[in-house]
Amino acid sequence: MTALEIAAGVTIAEDDLVETFIRSSGPGGQNVNKVATAVQLRFDARNAVGLPERVRERAIKLAGQRATKDGVIVIEAGRFRTQEQNRADARSRLAALVAKAAEPPPPPRKKTKPSKGAVERRLKAKAGRSTVKRLRGKVEGD
C-alpha cells in the first residue's frame, strides 16, 4: 500500500506503520482459535517524518491510553472476520485520529460582559429573594 494522505502537508509513510496479525477475541467458534485475523497497527508518531510537530504532539495526546510512553500509537482492530477488513479498519481509525489532530485549534474565546439590564434584573431578583427569606423568620411583635 502507499502512504496515507491525511490533509495538506500531513502524510503517514508506509515505513512508519508496523502491522502484526493476532488472534481475535470474542465469538467465532474454532475459527477464532486458529486464524490470526485481528490487526495490531503500530505507528511511531514521535519519529514520524510526514507530521508537523504540532500535529505529532496533538495526535499522541488524543490517542490517550493507545499511546505508549515512547510515542507509539497502537490500534487494535478485530471487528471483522478477515485480515483485509481489519487492516483497512485500523488504518482508517489511525487516519481519523491524525486528521482530528491536524485540525486547526479553535479561535480563542472572547470575553463578554453582562448588559446593564441583566445586572439590574439579577440584583433586583436577589433583593426579592432576600426579602422573602427575611419575612420567613421569627415574627417580632408584642
> What span, in angstroms and rounded, lies between the C-alpha atoms of 130 and 136?
10
Is residue 70 domain-resident?
yes
Q: Which of 78, 74, 81, 83 shows the shortest CA–CA distance to 18?
A: 74
pTM as predicted? 0.67
Residue numbers of the domain that contains 15: 4-102
76 located within any domain:
yes
Are 48 and 13 spatial neighbours (Cβ–Cβ below 8 Å)?
yes
Distance CA 63, CA 71 (A): 10
**Ordered per-residue pLDDT tens for the chain, 142 residues:** 566 667 666 777 777 788 878 877 766 666 666 777 788 888 888 888 778 888 888 888 888 888 888 888 898 888 888 888 888 898 888 888 888 888 888 899 999 999 999 999 999 999 999 999 998 988 777 6
Whether residue 129 is contained in a domain is answered as: no
Judge whether 29 lies within some domain: yes
With both helix axes pointing from N to C terminus, report the angle between 53-63 and 83-102 in degrees, rounded to the nearest 10.
120
Please check whether residue 117 lies inside any domain of the structure. Answer: no
- Confidence at residue 108, expressed as pLDDT on a 0 to 100 scale: 94
| Domains identified in the chain, total number | 1
Residue 139 domain-assigned?
no
- Tell me, what's the pLDDT at 109? 92
Tell me the residue type at 12. Answer: I
Whether the CB-CB separation of 94 and 13 falls below 8 Å is answered with: no
Q: What is the CATH number of the domain that holds 9?
A: 3.30.160.20
| CA-closest candidate to residue 53, choices 101, 107, 106 | 101
